Structure 1
């Protein structure tokens, strides 16, 4: 796959891996929709979360991080709700994540992400 070709897949990650991905994004100064420590506080520690690359993102002033994938994130929270978020992920990091979902599961996750779903900001406002 060319480095600028976005993967057409959805990958599942556990909470520990998601926090690692979020930390990598923070260290690289990539986009995240939550502050440092937010995921550790609010993500369900036993849940599976889902990343779906939505677009290629480029930082022309930081070519070492370009391109990277801006992923839609289906995030499971401690209160049992699922919310929409975004997380930028480096291509090599995304490629290392295992491919573990069947086609039907990926379709259900895509439908959930593309349908009406509360986002992190809305959830945070309601739960402040």
Structure 2
């Protein structure tokens, strides 16, 4: 059922993003930001955008396999936008509301796929 990725981009606020990141850590997913990192570094008033691009399977937690690896457009506390990754449990992703127009989704997906954004790790290295 979760082998087919949805072709969408979803917007989430920082509070929801922190919850998704916490869930990724608690389920033992590989891609997350670590406890407190988003709360410390992400713009607390921003919307962030998730775009599933890979069905990720794991053997160490078969009850949570597959996951959807999402590209994440993340707005940082200094206003800069960066690229990151986040693994999300498919039932959780499907519960996130659809709030973007088709045109917005297309534009966001292109920005994420084009590779021109700095990564969260690059941003962090410059802001230590």
SS, match of residue 78 in structure 1: coil
Q: What are the ranges of 5 or more consecutive residues in structure 1 without an aligned counterpart?
A: none
Question: Is 2:107 the counterpart of 1:102?
Answer: no
Q: 4+ residue stretches of structure 1 with deviation over 4 A?
A: none
**Structure 1: how far apart are the matches of 2:68 and 2:77?**
26
The aligned counterpart of 2:21 is 22
Matching of residues 1-128 of structure 1 within 5 Å: 2-115=1-114, 116-128=116-128
- Structure 1 residue 33 displacement after superposition: 4.6
Contact 2:28 2:61 in 1 (8 A): no
SS, match of residue 98 in structure 1: coil
TM-score, with normalisation over the residues of structure 2?
0.95
Q: What are the ranges of 5 or more consecutive residues in structure 2 without an aligned counterpart?
A: none
Contact 1:33 1:120 in 2 (8 A): no
**Structure 2: how far apart are the matches of 1:84 and 1:54?**
13
Count of aligned pairs between the two proteins: 127
The CA RMSD over aligned residues, in Å, is: 1.0
- Structure 1 residue 83 displacement after superposition: 0.3
Contact 2:21 2:32 in 1 (8 A): no
- Structure 1 residue 35 displacement after superposition: 2.1
Deviation sequence 1:57-80 (CA, Å, 0-9, x none): 001232101111000000011100
Shift of the 33–91 alpha-carbon distance from structure 1 to 2, 3 Å rule, reads closer
Contact 2:13 2:46 in 1 (8 A): yes
Contact 1:11 1:99 in 2 (8 A): yes
- Structure 1 residue 31 displacement after superposition: 2.2
